[in-house]
Structure 1
């Protein structure tokens, strides 16, 4: 067995650990089931073994976890972007409350409002828009908090701040007769 194969065999548990620690497994979404995530994690582990340079003095375990984690996050984003977004009702209501008179296609409207927020805001309000986007994509507040390395109540505060700003801006847009 060559060095690469030995590294892979010795560190398969890293894949399982990353999935359980950082990734939201969703058995109801094709591609986000545990088996699919594990397979993608193994591909990332193989890439880590291929690209690992012992000369740099890093430990393979730490390097592999980083590569697997980043690969799985990218993979999850791709899966979520290609699946038709099913927006949870409470999140649609949060966005609809921003401009209650709007009566068009709600998924298009949600996308437009969030894009407007990402382009326009900074700081806590921008974090709130990003968090709301992740919630709509299926992440829980706890998952989002882990991604940003903060307490879950921070995420709720961010979303609240973003919703306040968006309501104010959408009120101005609604009264001016233009789209976001």
Structure 2
């Protein structure tokens, strides 16, 4: 972008409120996705406002606020489309899993008491538990074993031909069963 002259800077500064109004009035903020937070959208909107100040011509028939609002909104939409193509939401450990089980991602992590178990013992225990289970719980135990081998949830989902949130639900169910078995043993 070329440097702004004094008149363009003053015009942008005078209508800075348009950025805030457009961001809050037309965009859905999502702080868990980089680029969709208020600060990121506000910055993009300010850049669009400066661009509008440089390109505005009164002879066009529209007032500057009308012209700038359209430029800002279009730039924000383009920004969101670009970010959506390259970003995935952050998954925080205290976020509820999409399976609707009420468990968080942290709930599916093994307790501290399991840190001393070797890989061989882990796979043996999972294999024994798998023999006692069927259906979704069995798939969850298989998915846990694959996770222990380093596969991601997306890779496991592709292997089974399902969405990744199904794999998360299977693992959640299997983890719950394994915890209950440990408590009753």
- When normalised by structure 2's length, the TM-score is 0.47
- When normalised by structure 1's length, the TM-score is 0.48
Question: Does 1 or 2 have the higher relative contact order (CA < 8 Å, sep 6+)?
Answer: 1
Compare the two structures and name the one with the higher helix fraction: 1
